[in-house]
A = this chain, B = another copy of it.
Amino acid sequence: MNKIITISRQYGSGGREIGAKLAQKLGIPFYDNEIITRAAKDSGFSEAVFENAEKKASNSLLYSIAMGMNAYGNQDIGFTHLSLDDQIYIAQSNVIRKVAQEGPCVIVGRCADYVLRDYKNVVNVFIWADLEFRKNRAIQLYQLKENKAEEEILKIDKSRANYYNYHASEKWGKAENYHLSIKSDCIGIDNSVDCILQFLEYCERGISSGK
């Protein structure tokens, strides 16, 4: 299997666990938010990359707005510097591209589907689930308080959607952005892993066997 699998997921849907188990079954590396962020911080190449990205980004209206500029593009209020959020995004994207070049792997979050949009061997998966299922998981696994769980879940989902919509200029959770999308509470974590495995197997076999 020569594929890079990216997983986008609603908070509490089990997307991270599905990704980890999938990587284990395939015997390939697994990267989540935490690992990518750490690697981005440790990377020596980030400063040079920031400079290039800055030049490119300074021409964009979107970036100007994000930098908090006024309508006249006044350079005094931060034209030449990217926000910390954008700097982190660029460093993370470089890590994602680097690990993708190294070979097959599973990457969870961080707009990896968008970062790798020009790669031919990428399969993008979206995992979502009922709020009730996600609440139960969040309470059990992430020690969220029962009376706060729903609010917290919706807040995190909103922040994931905003992050994706801003950086990828695309809609988070739009079926068309993913090769496969699964409602995990219907079939559970392990069956979701098997569903993805079967899809990957079909991809490998090629369309000829599936007409």
The count of identical subunits is 2
Known: A178-B183, A180-B183, A183-B178. A191 touches B209 (CB 8 A): yes
A203 touches B179 (CB 8 A): no
A173 vs B194: C-alpha distance when bound (angstroms) = 24
Q: Does A188 contact B (CB under 8 A)?
A: yes
Known: A126-B181, A181-B126. A189 touches B176 (CB 8 A): no
A195 vs B179: C-alpha distance when bound (angstroms) = 12
A192 vs B202: C-alpha distance when bound (angstroms) = 9
Known: A128-B175, A174-B175. A203 touches B181 (CB 8 A): no
Interface of A is mostly: helix
Contacts of A179 in B (CB 8 A): 182-183, 186
User: Size band of the A side of the interface?
Assistant: 20 to 34
B183 touches A210 (CB 8 A): no
Contacts of A48 in B (CB 8 A): none
- In the assembled complex, the CB of A125 is this many whole angstroms from the nearest CB of chain B, namely 10
A211 touches B190 (CB 8 A): yes
B174 touches A191 (CB 8 A): no
